[in-house]
Structure 1
Amino acid sequence: MRLRPTALFSLAAVSVLAMSSCSATASTAAADKAAASPARSTGDKPASPLSAGQLQERLLTAADLGRGYTVKPVREARHEKVTVVGCPALEKLGGEAAAGGVLDFPRRASVSFAYTGEADSEVSEDLYSDSAPKLSAASRRIFAAMASCPAYRVTIGSTPVEVATEKVPAPRLGEEHWSQTLTFTVSGRSSVVKQTAVRTGTVLVVVSGSPGLVDAHVHKAVSTARAAT
């Protein structure tokens, strides 16, 4: 079985994120101590959560990315049982959740792009909005849990996915930022995906996909998400 990089990410890693954000009311000492890499913020940020429509207007477009990018069709949501083995922190945060790459925040917009310049190169952007305290607390829990386990297994339906994670330096954007690489192995085939998340006020920007594309476009994604509509 072969899964494309962003498909792997949405089916595995973000499924785990959805599991943990569903448990947003449960705090842990590890999460409280997690280093979220705070940075000085600049510019105006919305004081209230944005609507899904407002988030949609702040997503990147193919024109923002440049030549060679095309928007990928929206995939039908899949709801399969997700289990985590080998990472107690993630197991405690979840239980089971539906696969499909959705964090459990009330307002969301997303887009995915394919890049013709390199085989199997993809990048996706997800924007979420909630109150700043809720976004901050949930994001800290999620990344603390994922960073606590360098390797674990996620089973999606009947498909086992081996996951290896590594925390990497995050760009100094927004009030909080996180970045990591994830290596997914399915049936002996591996794909490396990078994820960078930035919280700026009441908006959480998550860019994931081929490492080079994430690095190339995360600054633009954050600046566009912050822009006034």
Structure 2
Amino acid sequence: MTITHEDELDGLKEIGRIVAETLQAMGRALEPGMTTAELDAIGAELLEREGAVSAPESCYGFPGATCISTGDVIAHGIPGPEVIRAGELVNIDVSASKQGFFADTGASFRVGDVPASLKRLCTDGRKACQIGVAQVQAGRPIAAIGVAVGQFAAKRGYTLIRNLASHGTGRALHEYPEEIATWPNRDRRRITDGLVLTVEPFLSRGGLWAEDGGDGWSLLASPHAACVQYEHTVVATRGKPITVTLPG
């Protein structure tokens, strides 16, 4: 989607606020002993209360209102009876629509006390996303996002999952540009004024690819390694990008 009128930006900001506040509320509710289905129910209730519709459910028939990934799963985890344990990371991805506008956000959360290496991974994962967002400016190459994130990852000794990309969004969950690499690449396309896209690098301690987890949805890191994802929906301008997935 390309924003051309102020009312479009207002609509995008509204759904951006909703998914952001849902994500943060789920993060606050997260605790050892609860199931991923119970956590998903919290997200589903919040989305419904705001008049929003889960995007993975409505667009792809995903069996949950949100994607909740635990243990070895790095993305698209199905909510269910799995019990969340202390000392692990949980990734929550919330995407939804309202009145024809879509927004997408996600974050990795620590459950209780985790090893120092995982704390650093979370801190650096959030920084990698911020670095990617900072590259979103009209006229710049799309490749600038992946180049900047890649430089940061290499300097810190991390790898990036190279088949889970960012994407355009706004009027559909996934739209042009269909794939935006968050790793070093030679994409010749340029970012245009008003373009709506996500920035969501998957920062890992050794993983390079996402592999099928065997249930038709969940994805695992290959080689096996810890991985985090932080995601925002942003609008390109001729100056600083507008991040719409911030809590109100």
Q: TM-score, normalised by structure 1?
A: 0.33
Q: TM-score, normalised by structure 2?
A: 0.31
